[in-house]
Amino acid sequence: MGLVMKVLVTGGGGREHALAWRIAQSSAVEKVFVAPGNAGTELEEKLQNVSISPMDFDALIEFAQSEKVDLTVVGPEDPLVAGCVDRFAEAGLRCFGPSKSAAQLEGSKSFTKAFLKKYGIPTGDYRAFDEIEAADEYLDTQIPPIVIKADGLAAGKGVVIAQSIREAKSTVADMLSGNVLSGAGSRVVIEEFLEGEEASFIIIADGENFLPFATSQDHKAAYDGDTGPNTGGMGAYSPAPVVTAEVFSRTIDQVIKPTLQGMKDEGHPYTGFLYAGLMIDKEGRPRVIEYNCRFGDPETQPIMSRLQTELVSLMVAAIDGRLNETEISFDPRVALTVVMASGGYPGSYENGKVISGLREVEGAKVFHAGTTMKDGEVVTNGGRVLGVTALGSSVLEANEKAYAAVNQISFNGAEFRTDIGYRAIARENA
Ligand code: AMP
Ligand code: GLY
């Protein structure tokens, strides 16, 4: 690889804008292509959008070969679960992310639950079912609330926390009959409801060694006070105060190390970003809710805003199996992201609303998600539209700076939560 690298990032959300922006800050990087990207990546220096779908591996490989791309970074989970990294490797191209077999940690909840159980990694009790009758019999022995999950990828829509056994049974019946989620629901996992506070624990791994990113927390519920329907995430901040030094070291010892060792032993060594969604109980015990085989969205936005080490050198070291020789450091300040969404999200919404005020923003970085350029203007093009991100010496300060910027930006129907970080702010005031 030359000293001046060309990088290709696949995906077009806020995560990919933040990853590409951070990669482009390296003096070793000449250009970052983003496929397909969004208006934010189109306007950013050194970045160039390419209109190829992240799932069109043939076209991506052809592009990487013809443009002499040195490194491809896969943003979303779908192409990873479908084997994007394996296809690039067969073509002799460097591609950062887990192989298809390693990406099962996100692609199959039943694989992951069996894996966690086998290696003694803390998680909720569970059973997997393919048939309604057996699932119903099991549910008759359970006490609600109880968690029902579709086995495959369902973009966050495959989880129902049932408040009664009757609701649990009808959810299982819907999922197994394929009425709700085609494909993803041919098997269900029924899981113990875990109580506590959630945190996102993301690492970079090289198959054996790893480095942890700064911790973070996201807000998945659509409305203030963590109420309303589940979304991809309405905001996030880093660090997560619930992850104390003790919780951090427990997570490394009880979760991360045995996971990487187990995946290696199973013949699926894990290279890439690995995101553990944790539930931390009152005693500070972490349990795994889920694994994701990619960076979090919107967690990427605050974490990349704090990352001081060059991201591209971390990824190259991971591909080369040299993370043990590498260090990682973070800005000690808090970073906080407020997501601005289209009116109606996570339900149906309209695209094409002109976004104004973006140029006036000061003291915050605006990562784009669902945006595109139309007649020279930035317009909405998705549910989650922008991730407005600010750094501060406290969560409160980061929150105030982010909301000052949010208030400068407007588009028809814009929705956002007004309380991102409220739990952490309450801790600061305690
Ligand atoms: P998942 O798609 O597995 O990330 O689940 C989405 C959300 O549902 C999680 O972020 C949690 O808020 C919630 N959830 C999932 N599983 C559990 C569980 N076993 N106990 C409590 N909450 C859960
Ligand atoms: N913010 C949750 C996720 O990326 O899955």
* Residue pLDDT, tens place only, 64-83: 999 999 999 999 999 999 99
Across 320-342, average pLDDT = 98
Question: Quick one: which H or E segment has residue 250?
Answer: helix 245-251
Report the separation in Å between the CA atom of 299 and the middle of ligand 2, taken as the mean of its atom positions: 7
Distance of alpha carbon 405 from alpha carbon 363, whole angstroms: 7
Reference 303, options 329, 339, 340, 272; nearest CA is 329
Instruction: Give pLDDT, residue 309.
Output: 97
| Matching residue, tokens 């199973």 | 266
Instruction: Give pLDDT, residue 206.
Output: 98
Report the separation in Å between the CA atom of 368 and the middle of ligand 1, taken as the mean of its atom positions: 26
Report the separation in Å between the CA atom of 159 and the middle of ligand 2, taken as the mean of its atom positions: 13
Distance of alpha carbon 39 from alpha carbon 36, whole angstroms: 10
| Residue type at position 289 | I
Reference 279, options 290, 268, 287; nearest CA is 287
Report the separation in Å between the CA atom of 219 and the middle of ligand 2, taken as the mean of its atom positions: 9
Report the separation in Å between the CA atom of 132 and the middle of ligand 1, taken as the mean of its atom positions: 22
Question: Which residue among 125, 149, 161, 220 has the greatest number of ligand 1 atoms within 8 angstroms of its CB, and so is best to mutate?
Answer: 161
Distance of alpha carbon 362 from alpha carbon 128, whole angstroms: 50
Strands (E), 286-343: 286-292, 334-341
Distance of alpha carbon 264 from alpha carbon 6, whole angstroms: 30
- DSSP SS3 for 430: coil
Q: What angle do CA 45, 70, 370 make, to 5 degrees?
A: 45
Does ligand 1 have an atom closer than 6 angstroms to the CB of 150? Answer: no
DSSP 28: T
Contact, 118 vs 126, CB < 8 A? Answer: no
Question: Which residue among 109, 200, 289 has the greatest number of ligand 2 atoms within 8 angstroms of its CB, and so is best to mutate?
Answer: 200
Question: Which residue among 105, 289, 299 has the greatest number of ligand 1 atoms within 8 angstroms of its CB, and so is best to mutate?
Answer: 289
Instruction: Give pLDDT, residue 155.
Output: 53
The number of the ligand nearest the C-alpha atom of 157 reads: 1
Report the separation in Å between the CA atom of 74 and the middle of ligand 1, taken as the mean of its atom positions: 24
Task: Please tell me which residue, 183 or 37, carries the higher pLDDT value.
Answer: 37
Reference 360, options 404, 307, 391; nearest CA is 404
The number of the ligand nearest the C-alpha atom of 287 reads: 1
Instruction: Identify the residue whose C-alpha is closest to ligand 2 atom 3.
Output: 296
DSSP 254: I
What is the tens place of the pLDDT at every residue in 398-410? 999 999 999 999 9
Instruction: Give pLDDT, residue 183.
Output: 52
Q: Name which of 76-85, 180-189, 369-378 the model is least confident about.
A: 180-189
Tokens coding 384: 């989650």
Task: Please tell me which residue, 310 or 188, carries the higher pLDDT value.
Answer: 310
Distance of alpha carbon 429 from alpha carbon 425, whole angstroms: 6
- Which atom from ligand 2 is nearest to the alpha carbon of 15? 4
Classify burial at 109, counting beta carbons within 10 Å of its beta carbon; exposed 0-12, middle 13-18, buried 19 or more. buried
- DSSP SS3 for 425: helix
The number of the ligand nearest the C-alpha atom of 191 reads: 1
Strands (E), 295-349: 334-341
The per-residue b/e assignment along 316-336, b for 16 or more CB within 10 angstroms, e otherwise, is bbbbeeebeebebebeebbbb
pLDDT of 180 over the 70 cut: no
Report the separation in Å between the CA atom of 36 and the middle of ligand 1, taken as the mean of its atom positions: 30
Instruction: Identify the residue whose C-alpha is closest to ligand 1 atom 7.
Output: 159
Question: Which residue among 299, 301, 337 has the greatest number of ligand 2 atoms within 8 angstroms of its CB, and so is best to mutate?
Answer: 299
Does ligand 1 have an atom closer than 6 angstroms to the CB of 67? Answer: no
Ligand 2 environment, Cβ below 6 A: 218, 233, 292, 296-297, 299
Does ligand 1 have an atom closer than 6 angstroms to the CB of 78? Answer: no
pLDDT of 182 over the 70 cut: no
Instruction: Identify the residue whose C-alpha is closest to ligand 2 atom 5.
Output: 296
Instruction: Give pLDDT, residue 154.
Output: 65
pLDDT of 232 over the 60 cut: yes
Reference 92, options 119, 115, 72; nearest CA is 72
- DSSP SS3 for 315: helix
Report the separation in Å between the CA atom of 73 and the middle of ligand 1, taken as the mean of its atom positions: 27
Across 267-294, average pLDDT = 98
pTM score, whole prediction: 0.94
Does ligand 1 have an atom closer than 6 angstroms to the CB of 218? Answer: no
Distance of alpha carbon 49 from alpha carbon 42, whole angstroms: 6
pLDDT band (50, 70, 90) for residue 185: low
Instruction: Give pLDDT, residue 1.
Output: 47
Classify burial at 137, counting beta carbons within 10 Å of its beta carbon; exposed 0-12, middle 13-18, buried 19 or more. exposed
